[in-house]
Every structure is written in C-alpha cells, then in structure tokens.
Copies of this chain bind each other. A is one copy, B any other.
Amino acid sequence: MIERYLEDFTVGQIFGSGRIVVEKEDIKAFAAKFDPQPFHLDEAAAHDTIFGGLAASGWHTAAMTMRLLVDSEIKPAGGIVGAGFDEFRWPRPVRPGDELRLESEVLDVRPSQSRPHQGLIKMRTTTLNQVDQPVQVMIANLVVLRRPGSSASAIQGRG
C-alpha cells in the first residue's frame, strides 16, 4: 500500500474505485437502524412515495461511498479525514441491485498556513450507478499530512 502525502497529490489527478452491489436487504437493514422511513424499508409502502419504489437512504449511499474511498488507491497519509464539504447532494435514488463505483478528481492542493505539518486537498467524488448516472456528488476538503521535511514553497511551485 502506497501512502500519499500532500506533495503526492496534484490538481487534475483522478482516482477510480472498486464496486459495491447494493442488496435489497442491506438497504432495509441500514434504514431500520438509521433512517426508518417507508420508502427505505418496504417495497409496497415505497410505491406511493416521492421515490416511487424502494430506495437506499442517502446516508447509506454516503456510507457505501466512504467504504469505496477507503478501499481505493487514494490512501492519504494519516487517513481520509474530512474537514467539511463545499457540495453534497444526491441527484437520484439508489435502487436495490444497483452497482456503485466512484470517480474522484483532485480540484485543489494547498499547504496549511497555521499547521506546517499538514495541508488540505479539495476532491470531488462522484458516486455512479451501473449505467454511469451520478447518485451522489460531494466536494470534500480533506486534511492530508505533509511529507516530513518538505516546505510550503515546494508545493506551491507545483500549482
């Protein structure tokens, strides 16, 4: 496993991911624990709701996305640690049987002014279903450790 320091990320870099098939029973189990609403729990009850059928909780989609990120080749040194989000939305529902994968693009890389041993990368991660439709779009600011001994100017020069 390669761990990437801040200096190893560049704007425009793209990462893929593995895939997760979303099982109906997993949708219901997640919902029963964290989001017990009819459209996430039961096919018949879901039919007459805004979703028109069973759909995964958005938080389940977010959690599966995190699993794909952790298992991907992104591997920031110090872990995947979110400082906040510039954008976060679910353009369409995730249905039973959908197969999800990620496309992540680095949008910005910058050293911290106040914490010389770390920096931030801004990354857009789009979660796509098996017909390449986005089901989640998030732009996250991630805290990433700097390579020991590096200087701020070394990064800014790569801009």
Binding site for B on A (CB under 8 A): 30, 33-39, 49-50, 57-59, 62-64, 66-67, 70, 78-85, 87-90, 143
Determine how many copies of this chain the complex contains: 2
Whether the Cβ atoms of B79 and A88 lie closer than 8 Å is no
Q: A34-B66, A59-B63 are in contact. Are A39 and B85 (CB under 8 A)?
A: no
Asked if A90 meets B82 with Cβ closer than 8 Å, knowing A35-B66, A59-B63, the reply is yes
Is the Cβ of B35 less than 8 Å from the Cβ of A67? yes
Collect the chain B residues with CB atoms within 8 Å of residue A49's CB. 78-79
**Which residue of chain B has its CB nearest to the CB of A36?**
B70
Whether B63 and A35, one on each chain, are in contact in the complex, defined by CB atoms closer than 8 angstroms, is yes
Top 5 closest pairs, chain A to chain B, by CB: A84-B89, A34-B63, A85-B88, A59-B63, A37-B79
- Tell me if A's interface is mostly helix, strand, loop or mixed: mixed
* A16 CA / B121 CA spacing, docked (Å): 35
A87 to B85: give the CA distance in the assembly, Å.
Answer: 7
Cβ contact within 8 Å between A88 and B89: no
C-alpha spacing A88/B82, complex, angstroms: 10
Q: Which of B36, B70, B88 contacts A88 (CB 8 A)?
A: B88
> CB distance A67 to B37 under 8 Å?
no
Q: Give every chain B residue within 8 A of A78 (Cβ-Cβ).
A: 49-50
